[in-house]
Chains A and B, each alone.
Chain A
């Protein structure tokens, strides 16, 4: 127990993790600190070394799949790409909770059914009319529409925006930033044939018109997408149609 040995011991991070369902509570764990440690590393350490009953989701670990989003010290984040050092300094403790605005199944796992059902309700499916006999559609990369698609297309469906959105909390039927961002990318896809149906689906107080432009989704999106900009675009498109009586 010399001082040399104790200085070699990594210091511990105090972590509070949500356990149970909505009626659950936080449980405290001590996790050894490591270099370049991510929040997902911390959760994985607890599950493998301290408490195998802890439930959480992850898959790719490299920021592609969108499975591992959680609320870390109150903010929704992709935990596989978030270093512990980015969230807390050496003295503070970590608090890890499941995403907000979604029902908790157990511990850090939320039920994302409603989240993805809303993508479907926003007509988030591509529908074209070309067959395999047709030539490829030629979409100019520099066209305004294609640029609008590029700005929103990298969504990984992690739910961080949905968890961060105040309007989703106030209006449970609101489609939310991710579904509306998806609708916006398709509204700019010149090959898609459901344009009018989609704009009808996203109009009104359950759709784009409920957005108060708080920019929480834009602030928190790990892929640096601005759903707020897409939603504003949808409001404009729907507004023009409604003014013409074509909606």
Chain B
């Protein structure tokens, strides 16, 4: 019981920390899009800028990791409170979803930044 409460308290502050990271990253991400979009863009132009760009790769890899921490914790509460799932079921489901966004996210980052 006590260990569950500790795990829940830790989950809460991990969600807080990841939310802080996401807030900063989302603004940079949106700013970057607005900046890059001036005057229109083609896929070839995008790839020309992103391929081999290590800074961009690190930025978006951290972005994906912050999502992987943040999203399942929130989804778990929704599944429990609105979906009526038991905590173990909700956790299993949302951890599966976290694995999915980890793989999809990192694959996407690799696809556009690999040299």
Contacts and interface: CB of A to CB of B under 8 A. Distances in A.
Interface of A: 167, 170-171, 200, 203-205, 207, 209, 212, 235, 238-239, 241-243, 247
B1 to A, nearest CB: 9
Contacts, number: 43
Interface in B4-33: 4-13, 16
A172 B11 CA distance: 21
A246 to B, nearest CB: 10
A182 B114 CA distance: 56
Nearest to B4: A204
B44 interface: no
Contact of A205 (B8, B10, B16): B8
Main secondary structure of the interface of B (DSSP, over half): helix
16 contacts: A171-B80, A200-B2, A204-B6, A207-B5, A209-B8, A209-B12, A238-B9, A239-B9, A239-B12, A239-B13, A242-B6, A242-B9, A242-B13, A243-B10, A247-B5, A247-B9
B18 to A, nearest CB: 14
Given A209-B8, A209-B9, 9 more contacts: A200-B2, A204-B5, A204-B7, A204-B8, A205-B80, A205-B87, A239-B12, A243-B13, A247-B6
Interface residues of B, number: 17
B12 A200 contact: no
Contacts of B6: 203-204, 242, 247
Interface centre among A171, A212, A247 (most CB of B within 10 A): A247
Nearest to A245: B6
Contacts of B13: 239, 242-243
A12 to B, nearest CB: 42
Interface of B: 2, 4-13, 16, 77, 80-82, 87
Nearest to B87: A205
Contacts of B7: 204
Given A200-B2, A204-B5, A242 B82 contact: no
A170 B90 CA distance: 15
Given A239-B13, A242-B13, A243-B13, A203 B81 contact: no
Contacts of B11: 209
A203 B9 contact: yes
A120 B29 CA distance: 48
Contacts of B16: 239
A127 B16 CA distance: 33
Residue in A170, A241, A243 with the greatest tally of chain B CB atoms within 10 Å: A170
A140 B77 CA distance: 41
Contacts of A242: 6, 9-10, 13
Contacts of A235: 12
A167 B80 CA distance: 11
Contacts of B77: 212
Going nearest first, the 3 A-B pairs with the smallest beta carbon separation are A204-B5, A170-B81, A242-B9
A159 B55 CA distance: 54
A241 B9 CA distance: 9
A205 B16 CA distance: 15
Q: Kindly name the residue among B2, B6, B80 whose own CB sees the greatest number of chain A CB atoms within 10 A.
A: B6
A234 to B, nearest CB: 10
Report which residue of B2, B8, B9, B77 has the largest number of chain A beta carbons within 10 angstroms of its beta carbon.
Answer: B9
